[in-house]
Each structure stands twice: as C-alpha cells, then as structure tokens.
C-alpha cells in the first residue's frame, strides 16, 4: 500500500494537469490478465475500460505474448523505419484478409505514427492531396484525436474549412424527433448544404465519420443513414473516411463497424486494437487515392515490429475464433439486461450500443424542463457511478458530450460469468450512486 500511495502522490505532483484517467481512477496496476487488473495495493478490478477499447483480447493474452516473444527471440530488429520485414508482411496480409472485400482487392496501406490521431492526420492529408480541395465534412459529437487536424475534425471545433453536419442520435436527436425520421432529416440536411451554392460550404476534400461514435457517448450511426452518406459522397466524388480506431477488430459485433451497413468507405483509419495493445496506426485506402510522392508522408515510428506481431496475432485470433459474433451475442444480452435496469431507474435516460461498445446515459430525471423531450444529462451522477464502480472493483469509462455517459468496453474474450459479474457490480454501483 505504501508503494501504491507513494506512486500516486509522486504522479500527481509530476504529471501534467491534463492527466485524465489517473485522476478519476486512482489505481496503480502492477499485473493484469484478461479482464482483470491487479493494483499495487493488492486489489483486483474488472477492467471494462480496456485501454480505451484497445484490448480486444484483454490484458496479456497468451497469443499476443507469444507473438511478441517470438519476434524478440528471433533476433529480428525492433526498429526499422518503414522497411519491409516478414513481420510487417504477415501483419499486412492478415489485415487485408479482414477488410471489406471491395476495399481489400484494391487497397493501399500507409503506416503512420503510433497513435490513432496520427492516422487521422494522414487520412485528412491524403484526401486533401488527392482531391486538391481543402474542405472537410465532419459531424457533431465526433472524436478523432488531439492533434491539430484531428481536433478540428472533432465535434465543437472551429476551423473554417470544416463543415459540421448533424450526426443522427435517437435519444438526443438534433431535430427533436429521433428514429428513422431524425436520421432522414440529418441526411437531407447534409444533401441540401452540399447542393446549395449559397451555403458557403468549402469544396470538401472528404467526409469523416465514426460508425459508432465512441467518445461522443456511444452513438451508433443508423445503417440506412450510413448508406445515404455513402451515396451522397459517392455521387459527388467526395472520399468517405471511416474512422474505425475504436469500432474496429470485432468491437461492435462485426469485424469492422462499417459492415453493419455494408458500406465500403474509400479510406479507413485504424488503430487501437490492431496493435494488440501496442501502439500501431494505419490508413487503408483505395489505390486510386494513392497520389503521394515518395516521402510525402513520413514518420520515424512507422515500423513497430512488436506492435505488428501483436496486432497480427490479435486479428488472427479474433477472426479464427469468431469473436466479433461473440461480441454481438454477448453485447445484445448485456444491452437487454441494462435496459431492464433502466426500466427500474429513471436516472438511466438511455442504454445504447453495438456489440461490446455499450453506453448508459445518466440523466437528471427530476429537472427536465416541461417542454424538453429528454431530461438533461447528469455528469455528476455519471461520475458518482464511476466512483461507486471503482469501489466495487469495476473500471468503467465516461464519455458523451457532457460526460454523462458511462461506457463499457470489455474485451471480446469476456465470458458469460464475467459479464454477469460486471452487470451485478454496475447495478450495485448505480443503486449506491443514486442514494
Ligand atoms: N478516433 C477515434 C474514433 C477514437 O476513439 C480515438 C481515441 N479514443 C482516436 C481517433 C484517437 O486515437 P489516439 O488517442 O490513439 O490518438
């Protein structure tokens, strides 16, 4: 415990004021396996944060550890810039085998700097170079990262080149109707903006969207709306970028989030789980967009061999064990159970998600304005639920535009028993937070 306290104290003195998780989750992980993290104080936690959705196979999965050890034992170089290696070849082959067929048949891959935001930057630069245009179509509530371009593509940004379009939301519908009609209106809004010469929308180089908004509060894009976005962009020769950083590798119940709607984007931005818990980010795109000259996009850390090996092992394991389907079945069951909980707790405004990407929106049920369709979000209650979960050995993430959404991102290897344990602890925590 003294180690635990000491580490926490020194970290709080030395680290930047921007520290996030460490503030709300004062734990000092020293060991982890699967769903479980053990702290320096000996406490054990069920980890439904999963490195913000990175750990498709949970912590330290044997196939991931084996893959890493194999590279180390082989004497292969760990750092090689973007040189060709057997490890990279195996990763690329495995990745291409999972991609939507129409894209995989004609795809190029750009290895990027290590984080999701680096791949977003690369994608934005790629479509701007390929189209010679600079405008960007992006969505309310979006999250694409923390570097300049990715930040501007995220919700609430102010770059004049970015046109902010409404992302459909059943619960907090921008048009106050929700459902199919809300999504239909969102699509028509987009069409009319693009087709109105007086709208002032800068010539778009691309459209970027998440198949399920994650940080924005777990908001699944309706399939039909996604197909409309695909048609609208295809008709106007606007490259469509799917940011699958969080939705990829089985998380939403299909291998890639776009598969629910069947759309094939022109560009896919991939990170998090593709590195099997090590940093790795790539952009995959139609070969027709490959207009870059040699060196047009570089970066020292584009060749992390351990991440590629861990990633290839993860992709193969998810594919061979049909873990996406497992995520779909188990996720649906967890959603149903949480909806049951919502029926008994008015402070749960909404339960939503896809696969094992689940969000529970906490609301201030008592303080809804008489004419409001839904009560205001309750970041206070969400934070209290997160703390109560922590006391019960359950780690959950917060999200949403007002941080009113508790998010569950368990590994795809979650067992039925573990799912029950997670839900039991969550229900207890909710009851405690309400008191
Ligand atoms: N895009 C999406 C959809 C994300 O969820 C995230 C991270 N939460 C990013 C991009 C940025 O990734 P990174 O934090 O690795 O830069």
ipTM of the complex: 0.99
User: 10-residue block means of pLDDT along the chain (435 residues)?
Assistant: 89 92 94 98 97 97 98 96 97 98 96 96 98 96 94 83 94 90 95 93 96 97 98 98 98 98 98 98 98 94 96 98 98 98 97 98 88 91 98 97 94 98 98 95
- 353 domain-assigned: yes
Query: Is the minimum distance from the CB of 243 to ligand 1 under 6 angstroms?
Result: yes
Going by CA atoms, what residue is nearest to atom 1 of ligand 1? 144
- 70 domain-assigned: no
Domain that holds residue 355: 2-61+323-434
Structure tokens at 345: 């707790």
Claim to verify: residue 176 and residue 249 sit in the same structural domain: yes
Claim to verify: residue 235 and residue 104 sit in the same structural domain: yes
Claim to verify: residue 246 and residue 120 sit in the same structural domain: yes
Give the Å distance between the CA of 58 and the centre of ligand 1. 18
- 201 domain-assigned: yes
Query: Is the minimum distance from the CB of 347 to ligand 1 under 6 angstroms?
Result: no
Q: Which residue among 272, 307, 357, 409 has the greatest number of ligand 1 atoms within 8 angstroms of its CB, and so is best to mutate?
A: 272
Claim to verify: residue 300 and residue 273 sit in the same structural domain: yes
- 71 domain-assigned: no
Query: Is the minimum distance from the CB of 138 to ligand 1 under 6 angstroms?
Result: no
Backbone CA torsion sign across 240, 241, 243, 244 = positive
Query: Is the minimum distance from the CB of 256 to ligand 1 under 6 angstroms?
Result: no
**Structural domain total, the chain:** 2
Question: Do the bridges between strand 267-270 and strand 240-243 make them parallel or antiparallel, or are there none, so unpaired?
Answer: parallel
Residues present in the chain in total: 435
Give residue 54's pLDDT.
97
Index of the ligand 1 atom closest to the CA of residue 281: 15
Domain boundary pick from 320, 346, 365: 320
Give residue 2's pLDDT.
76
Give the Å distance between the CA of 56 and the centre of ligand 1. 15
Q: Which residue among 54, 55, 139, 144 has the greatest number of ligand 1 atoms within 8 angstroms of its CB, and so is best to mutate?
A: 144
Claim to verify: residue 282 and residue 391 sit in the same structural domain: no
Give residue 1's pLDDT.
64
The maximal CA–CA distance of the chain, rounded, in angstroms, is 68
Q: CA-to-CA distance for 404 and 68, rounded, in angstroms?
A: 38
Query: Is the minimum distance from the CB of 119 to ligand 1 under 6 angstroms?
Result: no
Claim to verify: residue 167 and residue 314 sit in the same structural domain: yes
Claim to verify: residue 299 and residue 341 sit in the same structural domain: no
Assign residue 34 the CATH number of its domain. 3.90.1150.10
Q: CA-to-CA distance for 269 and 282, rounded, in angstroms?
A: 6
Q: CA-to-CA distance for 387 and 91, rounded, in angstroms?
A: 39
Index of the ligand 1 atom closest to the CA of residue 215: 5
Give residue 286's pLDDT.
97
Give residue 158's pLDDT.
75
Index of the ligand 1 atom closest to the CA of residue 52: 8
Q: What are phi and psi of 351, to 5 degrees?
A: -125, 125
């Amino acid at each position: 415990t003294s180690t635990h306290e000491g580490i926490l104290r020194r970290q709080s003195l030395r680290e930047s004021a921007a520290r996030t998780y460490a503030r709300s989750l004062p734990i000092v992980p020293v060991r982890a396996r699967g769903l479980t993290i053990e702290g320096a104080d000996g406490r054990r936690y069920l980890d439904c944060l999963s490195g913000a959705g990175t750990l498709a196979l949970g912590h330290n999965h044997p196939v991931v550890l084996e893959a890493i050890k194999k590279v180390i034992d082989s004497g292969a170089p760990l750092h090689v810039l973007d040189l060709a290696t057997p490890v990279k070849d195996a990763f690329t082959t495995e990745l291409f085998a999972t991609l939507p067929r129409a894209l995989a048949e004609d795809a190029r891959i750009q290895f990027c700097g290590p984080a999701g935001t680096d791949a977003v930057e690369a994608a934005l630069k790629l479509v701007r170079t390929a189209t010679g245009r600079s405008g960007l179509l992006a969505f309310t509530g979006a999250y694409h990262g923390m570097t300049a371009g990715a930040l501007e593509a995220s919700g609430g940004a102010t770059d004049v080149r970015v046109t902010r379009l409404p992302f459909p939301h059943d619960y907090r519908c921008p048009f106050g109707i929700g459902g199919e009609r809300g999504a239909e209106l969102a699509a028509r809004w987009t069409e009319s903006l693009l087709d109105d010469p007086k709208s002032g929308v800068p010539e778009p180089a691309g459209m970027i969207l998440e198949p399920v908004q994650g940080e924005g509060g777990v908001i699944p894009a309706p399939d039909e709306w996604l197909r409309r976005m695909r048609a609208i962009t295809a008709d106007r020769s606007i490259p469509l970028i799917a940011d699958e950083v969080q939705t990829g590798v089985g998380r939403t119940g299909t291998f890639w989030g776009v598969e629910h709607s069947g759309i094939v984007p022109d560009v896919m931005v991939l990170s998090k789980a593709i590195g099997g818990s090590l940093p790795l980010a790539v952009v995959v795109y139609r070969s027709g967009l490959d207009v870059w000259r040699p060196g047009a996009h570089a970066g020292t850390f584009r060749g992390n061999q351990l991440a590629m090996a861990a990633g290839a092992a993860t992709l193969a394991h998810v594919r061979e064990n049909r873990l996406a389907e497992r995520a779909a079945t188990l996720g649906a069951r967890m959603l149903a159970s949480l909806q049951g909980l919502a029926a008994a707790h008015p402070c749960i405004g909404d339960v939503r998600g896809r696969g094992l990407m689940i969000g529970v929106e906490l609301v201030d049920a008592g303080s809804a304005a008489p004419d409001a369709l839904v009560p205001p979000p309750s970041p206070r209650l969400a934070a209290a639920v997160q703390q109560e979960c922590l006391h019960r050995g359950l780690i959950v993430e917060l999200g949403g535009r007002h941080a009113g959404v508790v998010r569950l991102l368990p590994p795809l290897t979650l067992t039925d028993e573990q799912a029950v344990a997670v839900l039991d602890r969550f229900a207890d925590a909710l009851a405690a937070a309400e008191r």
